Copies of this chain bind each other. A is one copy, B any other.
Amino acid sequence: MTPATVSPPARNLLGPGPSNVPPSVTEAMQRPQLGHLDPAYLGIMDEIQAMLREVFITENEVTFPVSGTGSAGMEFCLVNLIEPGDEVVIGVNGYFGGRLADIAARSGAKVTTVESDWGDIIRPEQIATALETVKPKLVAIVHAETSTGVLTPVEEISRLAHEAGALMVLDTVTSLGGCPVRIDDWQIDAAYSASQKCLGSACGVAPVTLSPRAMETVAKRRTPVQSFYLDVNLLQKYWAGSPRAYHHTAPILMNYALHEALRLVLKEGLEARWARHEANHRALAAGLAEQGLELGTPEAIRLWQLNPVRVPEGVDEAAVRLALLNEHNLEVGPGLGPYQGKVWRIGLMGYSSSEENVDRVLAALKALL
């Protein structure tokens, strides 16, 4: 028996991502699919690259979406920069820092981790201490830890990395489009993000950007990049070569969606978009406090777009989360790792970051608790 066509319920997506997709973004995916080397598609690719540079606030030539999800973007940055035996320093203060360390090790790196408790940031002093004994090729940290709702300041860590002759790699999966990310000002050499969080597109592509310094490192490799699919040399020839050289058949409709999502980001304006994410976060935090609910992170390091709410004593985390989904059509995320069973993760990202959604989730929690 062939199954029926999909008929998913329309949820309010207030978890760690994906967020809801604005109507014009899904409409863009309805447009005719082009060939991956059609001159009309090449023009769309040029516009995507130009808009991504504006959103990353960078002049980096090498700036495009990888044809995979955020984790593919993470792997892209690491496999292009790391050769077997290279030393790297990775900040781990949550789930995604751990993933960075895992991928770096699979790429052949000797990994030194700099660890903070879940819910805390990575501090410049910790990186400085690590750099006393290790001379790494790169330092990598997660800007906005989706697992804990913590925002680690980047500038001082980036300065220390460069002083030590290392490249600075930054995970902006949850930060890009929701709070300030300034690739050039902060001297970030490699960054990656995801389409489905604060950028407000559909899941499936991962914007990346590499600095000229990072590309020099790539040019000096003695070994081939271990991944063909993620090899920046081949990808850049497809995205910007003259003539464009076939590498893979791009996810055309996903890139129409990203194009439209980036348009919406730039039409709103980066500053205004960040301010919207901040205002909705503050409204949520205030509403939670009124109900006697606490956020799991100190105010100074709180991420606007991902809010870990402590589950009150005696309350069944999973039962409430399922009731939010089934009775209120609201998706919030569970805790991961040490946070499992202890927090709900309420995301206010991209199109999902709205006053209406803040009111909805506060009302639903009030009804259930």
Instruction: Tell me the A residues contacting B by CB distance below 8 Å.
Output: 2-3, 5-11, 13, 15, 17-18, 20-21, 24, 26-36, 38-41, 44, 47, 50-51, 67-72, 75, 99, 102-103, 105-107, 194, 196, 202-204, 224-229, 246-254, 256-257, 259-260, 263, 266-267, 325, 331, 333, 336
Extra A-B contacts (5), CB below 8 Å, given A8-B256, A18-B35: A6-B260, A27-B30, A35-B333, A106-B228, A246-B336
Tell me the smallest distance from the CB of A2 to a CB of chain B, in Å.
Answer: 5
Cα distance A325–B41 in the bound complex, in angstroms: 13
A263 touching B44 in the complex, CB below 8 Å, given contacts A202-B252, A256-B8: no
Question: Does the CB pair B250–A203 fall under 8 Å?
Answer: yes
Tell me the smallest distance from the CB of A260 to a CB of chain B, in Å.
Answer: 6
- Which of the residues B17, B47, B102 comes within 8 Å of A228, measured between beta carbons? B102
Q: With a 10 A CB-CB cut-off, give which of A3, A26, A28 has the most chain B CB atoms.
A: A3
Tell me the smallest distance from the CB of A175 to a CB of chain B, in Å.
Answer: 16
Question: Does the CB pair A325–B29 fall under 8 Å?
Answer: no
Cα distance A182–B36 in the bound complex, in angstroms: 29
A3 surroundings in chain B (CB, below 8 A):
47, 50-51, 259, 263
Cα distance A266–B1 in the bound complex, in angstroms: 9
Nearest 5 pairs between A and B by C-beta?
A204-B251, A10-B32, A3-B47, A71-B248, A2-B266
| Complex A-B: 24 CB contacts under 8 Å | A6-B28, A8-B44, A9-B34, A13-B33, A18-B36, A18-B252, A29-B29, A29-B253, A33-B203, A35-B333, A68-B229, A71-B247, A71-B249, A72-B229, A99-B228, A105-B224, A106-B224, A106-B228, A107-B226, A202-B252, A203-B253, A203-B254, A227-B227, A254-B254
How many identical subunits does the complex contain? Answer: 2
Closest to A95 in B: B246
Question: Does the CB pair A34–B11 fall under 8 Å?
Answer: yes
Question: Does the CB pair B38–A228 fall under 8 Å?
Answer: no
A40 touching B9 in the complex, CB below 8 Å, given contacts A106-B224, A106-B228, A251-B203: yes
A260 surroundings in chain B (CB, below 8 A):
5-6
Tell me the smallest distance from the CB of A9 to a CB of chain B, in Å.
Answer: 6
Closest to A71 in B: B248
A250 surroundings in chain B (CB, below 8 A):
69, 203
Question: Does the CB pair B69–A267 fall under 8 Å?
Answer: no
Tell me the smallest distance from the CB of A75 to a CB of chain B, in Å.
Answer: 5
Cα distance A325–B203 in the bound complex, in angstroms: 31
